[in-house]
Amino acid sequence: MKGVKDGDARRWVSTVWRRLKWPLLLAGVLLCVGAIVVAGMVPGLLNGPKSVPPPPAWQQGPSQLSDVNSVLPLGDDAPLPVPAELARLLNETLKPDGTGSITGVVMDASTGEVLFDREADANRIPASNMKLLTAVAALKAMGPESRFTTRVLASEDPSTVVLTGGGDVLLGAGASDSSAVMGRAGLGSLALDTAAALTSAGVKGPINVQVDDSLFSGAPLNPAWSPDDVAAGETAPLFSLALNSGRYSPSVTTGPRPQDSAVTTAQAFAGQLAAAGVQVSPGVERGKGIPTNVLASADSATVAEQVDLMLESSDNFLAEALGRMTAVASGGEATYDGATAAVRQRLGELGIATDSMQLADVSGLALENQVSAKQFAEVVRAITSGPDLALRTALDGFPVAGLTGTLDDRYVDAGTAEGAGLVRAKTGTLNTVIALSGYVVDADGRLLVFSFIGNGLQPGAAGNKVAMDRSASVLASCGCRG
């Protein structure tokens, strides 16, 4: 070191060494320990490279795309329940509480093999299980992504606008809500768009509001329905546009309903038009607009979304509206008879025998309906496993045991809890009728479809729903191999 004496240099080096020797020694120890650990973790690291076996097949990416063109059931190679063992278990649970009888069937979803059969071909009153037929017919006829459009048309009289129904009975009173099913199209938004169109055309008030509900024809009320059910609000006269699925409020799902949903909807639209700053004449009447002169329009939720809502909440009014729209899409008349004919037609196209069916409505309120448990199981199988993938969109609509829809307050006791969260099924309830049709993956991973229908039951007997739920829970927990 230039300018530094030898003694000073030696002292400087000694000082630096004293300060650095322990950190350097510690680093060396750590490097040695690290080398030993790595050598232990990776055998052969210090003895040269060795070949590493490839990962198992299930960890590797596919070498080519699958050529399967349909969605297959879960556990296609899982063992089937032994029919004799399944019958032994179900015969213990599938018993009426008092009078009446219960028919039923269990089928393997993949093969269609019948695993349990108790008068499965016998015609029965199915109650709201009818909505399963309506669901597949609507999806088959219109497609899952179709929407219904409500329009405001100009009339030959410039001071008149015509609210025109397009089959959407889930209109909301306020602004359109793109995240909703009920209320996807809102009268508030329609009114604002109409007001803007009138201003642009230089039309000033007062404006007359009319309504065109001619898309649906025939009687608004089905003569097969009990007047007591109508009075109780189970359904209402049907028109081609309605607020809140034919109710005064979306949050009130019982009690009286509007008896003319078309006029009620038009009155609400007139109120929204006035709130948008348009001078509106009092009163609403029926009329016709000019189809090519659209002032405003709003689209409904998709058919798939409406089908799911219908199944989950068992909405009779919505079911009948979807039935009428299925008739329109099938080239028939949008009447009650047209709806049942269209449902029968679409089921036939799916290969489901309909000759023995008797269809008086498409919601299940009519006691004249007659459908077998086997036919319902075949419909459920078409949804879960059939070749028409459009029907898969109905899967989300099935209520989940103990969690959603009409099954949210069931499967809560010890006898049925094994099915909670696993059983997915459409319910059906009338005075002397209880039905349950759906699907479940059993304990071995086999997808099963089932239908249980009780007729002539003692009204109000709590054990009948329990019998259905316990039987479905048997399927959920079943290995059933004897």
Catalytic center residues: 128, 131, 314
d(CA 392, CA 304): 9
State CA 307 to chain mean position distance. 6
Side-chain half-sphere exposure of 451, counting CA atoms within 13 A: 28
d(CA 373, CA 343): 17
CA distances in angstroms from 394 to 134, 175, 391, 398, listed in the order given: 11, 28, 6, 7
d(CA 387, CA 184): 31
CB 104 within 8 A of CB 438: no
- Positive or negative CA dihedral for 75, 77, 82, 87? positive
d(CA 393, CA 309): 12
Phi and psi (nearest 5°) for 401? -55, 125
Q: What are the b/e assignments for 274-301, b being 16+ CB within 10 Å?
A: bebebebeeebeebebeeeebbbbbbbb
d(CA 244, CA 174): 11
